[in-house]
Amino acid sequence: MKLFRYFTGPDDARFCERVTAALNRGWELYGNPTLTYNEEQKRVICGQALVKEVEGVDYTPDIDLSQQ
């Protein structure tokens, strides 16, 4: 089964830590990161897609992707 996640958040160390933690759990970057500017909050928002291949498991909607 192939899993997909999309992280979003402010362009800060915490965002990088979240992506780094996922990479260290076997997730892989998928595509280029995205950036946008939130005018109301006056900050840059990042986005990064990640994918992970999990063998021997069938997908069900109740899978907690944050635990994979």
Output the tens digit of pLDDT for each of the chain's 68 residues: 999 999 999 999 999 999 999 999 999 999 999 999 999 999 999 999 999 999 988 888 888 888 88
Vertex 65: Cα angle to 62 and 68 (nearest 5): 115
pLDDT at residue 16, rounded to an integer: 96
Question: What one-character DSSP code corresponds to residue 1?
Answer: -
pLDDT at 22: 96
Specify the pTM.
0.86
Q: Look at residue 68 in the predicted model and tell me its pLDDT.
A: 81
